[in-house]
């Protein structure tokens, strides 16, 4: 009996232990299930976020998918997605495999989308009061009227220094450039001799340019500038490209260097002192024949950024509702000198872009690298157009600084139409680099006529027209050869609607650049 009772007690103990273990195990399983469910839920949320991000980025055309026609090179050096061939002109073009057809279609869709978003809207020109509000000091220095009977916008301003004062000591251009300092050292020595004295007061002769070569970069402006410098009736600023209106006025040298102290307008006017001394009449009561010739001299300025570079506006002007700059460079130039003459040199924008790429000292430059940078820039530009106006994207400093190549500079018609909002047609001369290269004499005659310059002797004409071309491609860049043919075709698609609009505005089919393409 005792054994039976003892066995029952042992059985109950075992059952109790097993029940306790079962309850613990059940609790553990529930905990594991809860933890697993939480993990699965977290993964699901993460997947949903990733899918949403991918769809959003894909909408903007920024997916990190293989670039169209991008060549893949295996370890043996052979192409595994297609092959390079040579056309009749010696240009290289890439024949993709069928797997790249989707990529080509993607870029074609991208350029078509950009074309569909192009709207050449009009801009609202700011009134004079708004301009004065933005630049009160400049308006206090430059007078509203200039000296009569002079082609240049010149005036006299009172000088409060004495004979020992260095008028160029604080000039910002001189502080950052040795060449400027050398010129200012010379001007300092002769400065007092060119002052007009009236009792105890002294007056210095000041001038703004009569004409501006306003653009575009890599379009032959340096060559035109160097030829015009040889004309006996033309003088230029101390430096070819002071970039004062577009950059130095805001304290910007290079955007990657940030903003420093702004260059005052007096520093800009100092750049024309050398020219002003040559046209100043030292004796207003006795005009000799030589003095009359001095009146014929005109002053020019040749910053190729003037036409297009409004990148600084977003840092200094109140942002507008549509993201477009409320004030452009031409608004100020027109306000100070409404009769200014403007010269624009343009070039096939496709070739201009490649020349621009070769000009800058970029490591590992190649035609393939250029192609990849073009595609990335196209994607960024397309993304901007999805939410912004064309003008907003063209003048968007953040976008322009982010694009690996400067696509926007070749959108000539946008800038041209904006300049025509304040200046008249007869004040703007538009040239093509292709015409300048093929018939130099005709181009120079056109410029001389536009600037109302006098006739030249045969020797002077020969000196100007026979001068070797300036600013040609560097030897190390020539070895790269032309851009890849498929890159060229993509860029032609992108620029075609803009070239068409330029051609319509100017009523000249040459600006389609069909023959050169």
Give the tens place of pLDDT for each residue, 418-431.
999 999 999 999 99
Q: CA-CA distance, 450 to 301, in Å (whole number)?
A: 16
H or E segment at 487?
helix 485-506
The DSSP letter of residue 259 is: B
Long-range contacts of 88-92 (CB under 8 A, 24+ apart): 90/482, 91/482, 91/484, 91/485, 91/488, 92/367, 92/481, 92/482, 92/484, 92/485
Indicate whether 61 pLDDT > 60: no
What total number of domains does the chain contain? 1
pLDDT in tens, 236-264: 998 889 999 999 999 886 545 556 789 99
H or E segment at 203?
strand 201-207
Residue 211 confidence (pLDDT): 98
Mean per-residue pLDDT, 289-318: 81
Q: Is residue 140 in some structural domain?
A: yes
With b for 16 or more beta-carbon neighbours within 10 A and e for fewer, the 435-453 pattern comes to bbeeebeebbebbbebbeb
> With contact defined as beta carbons under 8 Å apart, do 305 and 243 qualify?
yes
Q: Is residue 417 in some structural domain?
A: yes
Indicate whether 313 pLDDT > 60: yes
Q: Is 217 helix (H, G, I), strand (E, B) or coil?
A: coil
pLDDT band for position 459 (cuts 50, 70, 90): very high
Q: CA-CA distance, 139 to 336, in Å (whole number)?
A: 8
Residue 17 confidence (pLDDT): 38
Task: Report the range of poorest mean pLDDT among 26-40, 282-296, 459-473.
Answer: 282-296
> Residue 255, exposed/middle/buried by CB under 10 A (0-12, 13-18, 19+)?
middle
Q: CA-CA distance, 106 to 322, in Å (whole number)?
A: 29
Residues, the chain? 517
Mean per-residue pLDDT, 345-368: 92
Q: At what angle do helices 485-506 and 101-116 cross, to 10 degrees?
A: 20
Give the torsion sign (CA, 250, 252, 256, 257). Answer: negative
Q: CA-CA distance, 424 to 432, in Å (whole number)?
A: 20
| Structural domain boundaries, residue 483 | 128-282+291-512
Q: CA-CA distance, 488 to 120, in Å (whole number)?
A: 25
pLDDT in tens, 211-234: 999 999 999 999 999 999 999 999
- Higher-pLDDT residue of 101 and 114 is 114
Q: Is residue 414 in some structural domain?
A: yes
Q: CA-CA distance, 115 to 494, in Å (whole number)?
A: 8
Residue 364 confidence (pLDDT): 86
Residue 317 confidence (pLDDT): 78
> With contact defined as beta carbons under 8 Å apart, do 325 and 317 qualify?
yes
> With contact defined as beta carbons under 8 Å apart, do 360 and 160 qualify?
no
pLDDT in tens, 7-18: 444 433 433 434
Q: Is residue 412 in some structural domain?
A: yes
Q: Is residue 493 in some structural domain?
A: yes
Mean pLDDT score across all residues of the chain: 80
Residue 43 confidence (pLDDT): 64
> With contact defined as beta carbons under 8 Å apart, do 436 and 444 qualify?
no
Residue 34 confidence (pLDDT): 56
pLDDT band for position 192 (cuts 50, 70, 90): very high
pLDDT in tens, 136-185: 999 999 999 999 988 999 999 999 999 999 999 999 998 877 878 888 99
Q: CA-CA distance, 333 to 423, in Å (whole number)?
A: 10
For 488, residues 6+ apart whose C-beta sits below 8 A from its C-beta are: 91, 350, 482, 517
CATH code assigned at 402: 3.40.50.300
Q: CA-CA distance, 86 to 124, in Å (whole number)?
A: 49
Residue with tokens 């901007």: 384
The DSSP letter of residue 445 is: H
Q: What is the percentage of the chain residues whose pLDDT exceeds 90?
A: 57
H or E segment at 92?
strand 92-96
> With contact defined as beta carbons under 8 Å apart, do 376 and 324 qualify?
no
pLDDT band for position 445 (cuts 50, 70, 90): very high
Q: Is residue 58 in some structural domain?
A: no
Q: Is residue 409 in some structural domain?
A: yes
Q: CA-CA distance, 169 to 266, in Å (whole number)?
A: 12
Residue 361 confidence (pLDDT): 67
> With contact defined as beta carbons under 8 Å apart, do 236 and 366 qualify?
no
pLDDT in tens, 463-497: 999 888 876 666 667 778 899 998 999 999 999 99
Q: Is residue 123 in some structural domain?
A: no
């Amino acid at each position: 009996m005792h054994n039976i009772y003892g066995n029952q007690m042992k059985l109950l103990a075992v059952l109790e232990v097993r029940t306790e273990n079962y309850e613990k195990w059940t609790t553990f399983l529930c905990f594991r299930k809860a933890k697993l469910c939480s993990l699965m839920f977290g993964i699901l949320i993460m997947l949903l976020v990733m899918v949403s991000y991918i769809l959003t980025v894909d909408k903007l055309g920024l997916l990190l998918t293989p670039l169209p026609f991008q060549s893949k090179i295996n370890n043996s050096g052979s192409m595994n997605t297609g092959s390079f061939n040579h056309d009749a002109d010696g240009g290289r073009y890439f024949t993709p495999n069928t797997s790249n057809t989707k990529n080509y279609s993607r870029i074609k869709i991208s350029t078509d989308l950009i074309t569909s978003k192009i709207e050449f809207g009009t801009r609202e020109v700011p009134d004079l009061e708004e301009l004065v509000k933005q630049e009160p000091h400049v308006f206090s220095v430059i007078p509203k009227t200039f000296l009569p009977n002079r082609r240049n916008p010149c005036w006299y301003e009172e000088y409060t220094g004495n004979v020992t004062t260095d008028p160029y000591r604080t000039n910002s251009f001189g502080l950052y450039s040795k060449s400027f300092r050398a010129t200012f050292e010379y001007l300092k020595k002769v400065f007092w001799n060119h002052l007009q004295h009236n009792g105890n007061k002294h007056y210095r002769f000041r001038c703004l340019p009569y004409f501006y070569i306003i653009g575009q970069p890599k379009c032959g402006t340096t060559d035109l500038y160097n030829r015009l410098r040889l004309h006996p009736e033309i003088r230029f600023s101390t430096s070819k490209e002071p970039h004062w209106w577009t950059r130095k006025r805001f304290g910007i040298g290079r955007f990657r260097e940030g903003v420093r102290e702004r260059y005052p307008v007096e520093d800009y006017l100092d750049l024309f002192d050398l020219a002003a001394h040559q046209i100043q009449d030292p004796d207003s009561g006795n005009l000799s024949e030589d003095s009359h010739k001095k009146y014929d001299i005109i002053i020019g300025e040749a910053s190729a950024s003037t036409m297009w570079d409004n990148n600084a506006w977003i840092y200094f002007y109140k942002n507008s509702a549509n993201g477009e700059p409320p004030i452009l460079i031409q608004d100020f130039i027109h306000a100070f000198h409404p009769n200014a003459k403007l010269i624009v040199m343009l070039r096939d924008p496709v070739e201009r872009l490649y020349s621009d790429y070769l000009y800058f000292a970029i490591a590992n430059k190649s035609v393939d690298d250029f192609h990849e940078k073009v595609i990335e820039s196209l994607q960024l530009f397309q993304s901007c157009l999805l939410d912004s106006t064309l003008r907003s994207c063209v003048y968007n400093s953040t976008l322009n600084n982010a694009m690996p190549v400067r696509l926007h500079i070749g959108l000539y018609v946008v800038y041209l139409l904006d300049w025509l909002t304040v200046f008249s047609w007869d004040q703007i001369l538009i040239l093509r680099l292709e015409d300048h290269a093929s018939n130099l004499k005709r181009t120079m005659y056109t410029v001389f006529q536009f600037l109302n310059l006098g006739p030249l002797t045969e020797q002077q004409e020969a000196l100007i027209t026979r001068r070797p071309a300036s600013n040609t491609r560097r030897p190390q860049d020539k070895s790269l050869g032309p851009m890849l043919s498929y890159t060229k075709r993509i860029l032609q698609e992108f620029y075609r609607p803009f070239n068409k609009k330029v051609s319509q505005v100017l009523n000249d089919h040459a600006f389609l650049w069909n023959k050169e393409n």
